[in-house]
Structure 1
């Protein structure tokens, strides 16, 4: 029986699993990950406001794996030999497969001096809890929220959540009647952060910040983060709470492989999500570097689209056919503000931005329930 190994237990990994079984692929599937849970990070933005609890966003996957006839190996990958298609793990167990799907996500660059003095919200649910605890302990002060990218691969950024944190914390403090005791500052080395969303979206975001009284410090290179301050080439931002989203790169274990890597440290792939020059090795989600428009996003929706392409192409390969399914480049994002949301959509030449509307907030919550139904 053919063997398929999937590295990871996030969006791309699980969507690949579901899509393979939906296509009638009967191959043995092994999922390798240190975590047998899906952490639904898109909703972690609501933890500081108490709209979501951390435990409600952690979904055990044992039943999902049983339904889809998956063998789960609890382990961290330490290496991959593309020639023999063999994966090594920290448990000492190796896995050899006919097809390997790299869907382990990326990691955040932490080369900026003093980055340990900032919270990185998208690093996980625990980080969102830490932000909530720190905010609750403050009687007032300055909240600095910022983002940057991978200098070697400018598209390797996940900036949307930082806009959401800015809007959500502003709205939360207003609800609590203490916004007047806080100064809020948004900072970025980019003069126009969020450009992958489109020029109209950037204009709308910056206008919304101005309307809410959120100051901006844009277009200046970051030097370091110190306890209580962000230091840029243009000066310092004193802060009692610092949220910072650095650029992304590939997982650390890629350095111990013979896989082709992009300048930003991610696995190079073609439009079919094949790893370049590596027969039977595929990549989906944040671990990969793909051809496409300069606005190609690093987000769960794009990871799902890449995973569906991978599943279609593996199914074809198992029947002796060449890959024919290119992934769709598509950005769908609702930037939430706790009671309203702004919609941004990009596909091909279409770039749509809708202003902050109350129904869009509820649409984002409804989508969460719909998406997680397969895992509950």
Structure 2
């Protein structure tokens, strides 16, 4: 049977991050619709690899993937969305992209070095290398925030400079409380072996006098009255959801935290042809790259159904068992994935095989068409891909 696509239909995807790039690629390859990806950056920034890029600047180019080979028939518009409604996008330039289907995939902002916040890959590379020089000169490194990003940063730093003292400060009384006790015990053991100092259940009474990522010796006090001296610090907390541009009836679907309410088909609340994927969604799960790519699969299937004149049937339900692949450098780390028996704990060797060795750069090279001869990364649950991409 020959599938007849509605050729005139336009799909606007706002945001070219993990979920946006994946849904745009799938719809461009599998439907006859015109896919328009709206993204101000000149290259996809693989945030899950940015922490390794910080400590290994020769590896940093692996973090960036140009958009020019992502779509075969669609187009990428290098602009920022000023306003998005149920019928399309008004760009910062004032130009308009009218669309029959809209996918909101604008993700979130996060402090450097996890996300650069820059639109130019060349500028982002230069910023990483400059911060590397600052870090290289420091003996004691303070990281505020002991979630996945802070933990991965500690692991990357100690893998290159085992002599550096890394201090993690977090107001929570324990690490990764949502995960199995066995995972947390393994994590604590590995951190102790790396010499990472944990100060949990407290926070800084005031910010250090230097900017994050700038070398300057300082002493600060934590809220429990202890002193702490370091030569450089990084902030590994503070997510800002990018949804301020939603207008009209779409703005009504935003939560007070800026996330977008969606139904089981990932349609924006009250909408038939507007979807959301990734960090911007108000789903009860961690905001990780792998989940965003799972969202993209569901949305691509549902829009393809709509183009055939059918009702959407693909459903997304967050797993009750949280997943993570959390490298501590190229050879260490902890992992947890769902199984029929409950949480399955992964040893460091498996975490390194699936993620730590190359941080999934092989599969993104395949997605973006930048290394057609590269072997794909070992298969892993998509839910765990890029676990440290966002906190």
TM-score range, shorter chain: 0.7 to 0.9
Q: 1:221 to 1:49 in 2, by over 3 A?
A: closer
1:55 partnered with 2:80: no
Alignment of 1:81-230 (within 5 A): 81-82=85-86, 85-108=87-110, 120-124=112-116, 126=125, 128-138=128-138, 140=139, 142-147=140-145, 159-174=147-162, 179=163, 182-227=164-209, 228-229=218-219
Q: Secondary structure at the match of 2:363?
A: helix
Q: Could you say which residue in structure 1 is the equivalent of 2:38?
A: 32
Aligned mates of 2:128, 2:187 — CA distance in 1: 22
Q: Could you say which residue in structure 2 is the equivalent of 1:151?
A: none
Aligned mates of 2:46, 2:340 — CA distance in 1: 28
1:79 partnered with 2:83: yes
1:255 is displaced (CA, Å) by: 6.3
> Deviation string for 1:196-247 (max 9, x for gaps)?
4443322222232223322211122554412135554223433211122223
Q: 1:234 aligns with which of 211, 218, 224?
A: 224
Q: 1:33 to 1:316 in 2, by over 3 A?
A: same
Quick check: 1:249–1:266 contact (8 Å CA) kept in 2? no
- Please identify which structure carries the higher strand content: 1
1:27 is displaced (CA, Å) by: 0.8
> Deviation string for 1:168-213 (max 9, x for gaps)?
2122212xxxx1xx43211111112323444332222223222332
Q: Could you say which residue in structure 2 is the equivalent of 1:45?
A: 51
> Deviation string for 1:294-322 (max 9, x for gaps)?
xx221111110001111111112222332
- My pick for the range that moved more, 209-218 or 48-57, is 48-57
RMSD after superposition:
2.5
Aligned mates of 2:246, 2:276 — CA distance in 1: 16
Identify unmatched segments of 5+ residues in structure 2. Answer: 1-7, 117-123, 210-217, 371-391
Aligned mates of 1:163, 1:101 — CA distance in 2: 32
Q: Could you say which residue in structure 1 is the equivalent of 2:263?
A: 270
Q: Tell me how many residue pairs correspond in the alignment.
A: 338
Q: Secondary structure at the match of 1:31?
A: strand
Quick check: 2:62–2:361 contact (8 Å CA) kept in 1? no
1:251 is displaced (CA, Å) by: 0.8
Q: Could you say which residue in structure 1 is the equivalent of 2:348?
A: 356
TM-score (norm 2): 0.78
Aligned mates of 2:311, 2:108 — CA distance in 1: 28
Q: Secondary structure at the match of 1:194?
A: coil
Quick check: 1:249–1:287 contact (8 Å CA) kept in 2? no
